Amino acid sequence: MTQADNGRLAIHGGQPARQNPDPPMYPGGMAIAEEEEKAVLDVLRSKRLFRYYGPGETESKASQLEKAFAAVKGARHAVAVTSGTAALATGLHAIGIGPGDEVILPAYTWIASAAAVVAAGGIPVIAEIDETLLLDPADVAAKITPYTRAIMPVHMRGAPCRMEELMAVASEHGLKVIEDVAQANGGSYRGRSLGTIGDAGCFSLQFNKIITSGECGVVVTDSEEVWKRTNMYHDVIAPLRAEYDENELLCGVNYRMP
């Protein structure tokens, strides 16, 4: 953007941030260049192919990603998992969703949002979207029952849900909030990064997403308890590698990133 643009967006005649057109297909893959190739070769040459151990004393790339991701989002914790779907399932377990618990979410989303609720043993409850094509806070409030335990706002196509109103509904009824940010990585709501407003935020780094590694997911949270439960559930071995109280232990699966 030049000084003459005076901060004008490209749609209003300012200089476009992108000087070359996007490829017709697979923009994430087509953007791979020497920097990405070097990062992969660095891992292979280090022989450190697993996050917990390997030759040398270097920090794993997964750990580096978590620290950088949390810092960019302004969150206290981030946990890298195998996919966006795994992030949702892990995050739901981490906030305490289990058999019979209802989670309110929109139908206008990818199937993974509802499937993750089922994977956690919960029951997806569909609420309407409003004129923004995002979750309608008024209909969310109307869908709450004695079995409702959480709300899942889905930030679609880069647009943020009406988080202030949704958080007010959640607070009034004592509900958890888990944000699906798979399609809005980098977006914000009133100065806060999407994914950091609720109890947990779940991101996808799948091939078609805004930032891609081919396949990956990330859970972010400011809660120490949610982070511990996320860490335990995403990796069956994690409780053995940290000092958790036996009363806190959560049975895990292998959603960990190498």
Q: Give the active site residues.
A: 209
Residue that is written with structure tokens 């195998």 in the block: 82
Distance CA 53, CA 210 (A): 30
Contact between residue 228 and residue 248 where contact means Cβ atoms under 8 Å apart:
yes
DSSP H helices, the chain, are: 27-30, 34-46, 61-73, 84-94, 112-119, 137-143, 163-173, 224-234
Distance of CA 5 to the CA centre of its chain: 35
Nearest CA among 205, 208, 214 for reference residue 181: 205
Give exposure, 74-109, as e/b (b: 16+ Cβ within 10 Å). ebebbbbbbbbbbbbbbbbbbbbbeeebbbbbbeeb
The helix/strand/coil state of 222 is coil
Q: Which tokens in the block code for residue 258?
A: 């190498």
Q: What angle do CA 223, 215, 116 make, to 5 degrees?
A: 55
Sheet of 77-81: strands edge to edge?
A: 77-81, 217-221, 200-204, 176-180, 148-151, 102-106, 123-127
Q: Which tokens in the block code for residue 163?
A: 């988080």
